[in-house]
Amino acid sequence: MSNDQSSQPDTLNSAERATIDSSVAAPVILFFGTAIFWLLFGSVFELISAIKLVWPCFLDGCALLTYGRTSVVSVNALAFGWATPAAIGIGLWLTARLCRVELARYKSLLAAGIIWNIGTFVGVAGIFVGDNTSISHLNFPGYATHILLLAFILIAVWAIVTFNHRKSGPLYVSQWFLVAGFFSFPWLYATASQLLVWNPIQASAQPAIAAWFAGGFFNLWLAPMGLAAAFYLIPKAVGRQINSNHLSLVAFWSLLLFGAWSGTSRLIGGPLPAWMVSVGVAASVMMIIPALAVALNLHFTLDGHYAAMSWSPALRFTITGVSMLVFTWVFTAINSLPAVSSVTNFSDITRALNLLGYYGFFSMTAFGAIYYIVPRLTGKEWPSSCLISWHFWLATTGVLLAVSVLILGGLIQGFALHDIGVTFRSSMDFIFPFRFVAALAALLIVCANLAFALVFAGLHWSLRRPGTAPALIAVREENSQEPVAV
C-alpha cells in the first residue's frame, strides 16, 4: 500500500465533518431532489420510446409524442435533468469535504440549482414544441442552453473559490477528477453550443465537433465525476487507503488524454477527414488502459473486504457502477475496431453501450453516492432497506437484461444491415424480439427509479425517527471486523 498521503480520503474528525456537511446540505439536496424528478421523467419517456420501437401504433399520430421527440426528450432529460445535476451535487459535497472548508455563500448555489432546472424545463419544452436542434446530446434549443450555461458559471465560480480556500495538504485523487470534470464541462458545452447551436458554422465542419462533444460529455464530465465519488466512497466505506497512487495517476491521465480524443471513432467512414476517425479509433482502443487501471486499483483496495457490499447500499451501487464503467470502455474499444464497427455501426449495439455507460455506470454510481451522502447531510436514515434492495435488483436486472439483448440483437441486425444479400426488412424482423425484451427491461428500470424516488421522498418526510440505526440491506455479520459504513 502506498504511503503517499494523497491516497487518504481525509483526516477530519466527526465534528468538523458535520459542520462542513451541514453547510452544503441545502444546495446538494436541491440538486439531488430535482435530479430524481428528471430521472423518473426521463425513464418514463425512455419506456414510451422503447414501446414505440416494437409497436409503432402506440400513442401514434400526436405531434408531442412522436418517437422522434420522446426519445430525444428522454436522452436529454436524463443527461441534463438527471445526470448533470447529480454529478454537480456529488461534486459540491466532495469539493467541500476534500478541501476541508465550510461552504460560504450557498445562496448562489441555490440560485444555480433553480436556474439549472428552469433551463432543463425550457429545453424539454422546446423539444416538445419542435425546436429540437437534432444534434446528439445538444438537442436543447439555443434559448435553453444559455440558461444552463449561466447556472453552470455560478457553480464553476464557487468551485474555483473553494479550491483556492482549501486547507493545505496533498490533493486527493478524487480532487483531480473533480477539477478535471468542473473544468471540462463548461469548455465542452460552451464550445459546442457556440459552434453548433447559437451561431452554427458551416455544416461540413460540424460532425467532428459534435462527436468531440458527445465523447467528451461522457468521458470527460460524467466519468470523472462518477470516479471522484467512487475513489472517495470505496476506501472510506471499507476503511482502507487507495491501493496504489501510481495506478490512480495512470487512470487519471490516460482517461483525460484518450477520453478527449475518443469521440470521433463512432463516425467511421463518415464525412470527415480520415485521420480524425483514425485518432478516435486509436484513442477508444487505448481506453482499455484507464479501464484496467481503475479496475485493478479499486479491486486491490477492496480485496478481502467485498463482504461490505452485502449490507452497505452505497458500496454495492458504487462497485456495480464502476464495474459497468470498465465494461463500457472495454466494449467501446472492441466496438470501435474497424472490422467490428463495419458490421455493428448504426445497429442497436449503440443503444446498448449508451445504456451501459449512462445508466449502468453513471446512474448506479450516483445512486451509491446519494445513498452515502444524504443521511450525512440531513442526519436522517433511509426509511426502508427493503425498497433499497428492490431498487438495486430492479436496476441491475433491467440494465443487464437490456444491454445483453441489445448487444445480441444488435449483432444480428448489424450482420443483416451489412450483408448484401439480406434485405432491410429482414434486419427489422431480426431485431424485433430483442427490442421487445429491451422494452420490458425499460419497464424494470422505471420501477427501479420509482423505488429510489420513494426512498428519497420517505427520508425527507421523516418516515423514520431520527437516531435510529442505519438502513443496512442485510444483517452485518457479528464477528465482522468491518467498520460501520452505510
Residues of span 318-377 touching other proteins by CB under 8 A: 338, 341-342, 345-348, 350-351
- Distance of alpha carbon 240 from alpha carbon 221, whole angstroms: 27
Residue 50 found at the interface with other proteins (CB under 8 A): no
Q: Which stretch binds other proteins (CB under 8 A): 30-38, 79-87, 115-123, 176-184?
A: 176-184
Site residues for other proteins, 405-434, by CB under 8 A, read 417-420, 424-425, 427-428
Give 83's contacts (C-beta < 8 A, 6+ positions apart). Answer: 35, 222, 358, 362, 363, 366
Q: How many residues bind other proteins (CB under 8 A)?
A: 82
Residues 77, 125: contact at Cβ < 8 Å? Answer: no
Residues 94, 178: contact at Cβ < 8 Å? Answer: yes
Site residues for other proteins, 220-279, by CB under 8 A, read 220, 249, 253, 256-257, 260-261, 263-264, 266-273, 276, 279
Q: CB of residue 343 vs other proteins: minimum separation in angstroms?
A: 9
Residue 187 found at the interface with other proteins (CB under 8 A): yes
Give 349's contacts (C-beta < 8 A, 6+ positions apart). Answer: 335, 406, 407, 410, 411, 414
Site residues for other proteins, 151-170, by CB under 8 A, read 163, 170
- Of 31, 38, 106, 176, the residue at the interface with other proteins (CB under 8 A) is 176
Residue with cell 471486523: 481
Q: CB of residue 122 vs other proteins: minimum separation in angstroms?
A: 16
Site residues for other proteins, 65-84, by CB under 8 A, read 66-69, 71-72
- Distance of alpha carbon 425 from alpha carbon 438, whole angstroms: 20
Site residues for other proteins, 273-312, by CB under 8 A, read 273, 276, 279
65-68: Cβ within 8 A, 24+ apart: 68/132
Burial class of residue 439 in the structure, from the number of CB atoms within 10 Å of its CB (0-12 exposed, 13-18 middle, 19+ buried)? buried
Within 10 Å of residue 82's Cβ, how many Cβ atoms?
27
Residue 136 found at the interface with other proteins (CB under 8 A): yes
- Of 2, 23, 191, 389, the residue at the interface with other proteins (CB under 8 A) is 191
Return the number of the residue (177 or 359) whose C-beta is nearest other proteins: 177
Return the number of the residue (293 or 395) whose C-beta is nearest other proteins: 293
- Distance of alpha carbon 486 from alpha carbon 483, whole angstroms: 9
- Of 62, 466, 469, 479, the residue at the interface with other proteins (CB under 8 A) is 62
Return the number of the residue (217 or 371) whose C-beta is nearest other proteins: 217
Residues 126, 144: contact at Cβ < 8 Å? Answer: yes
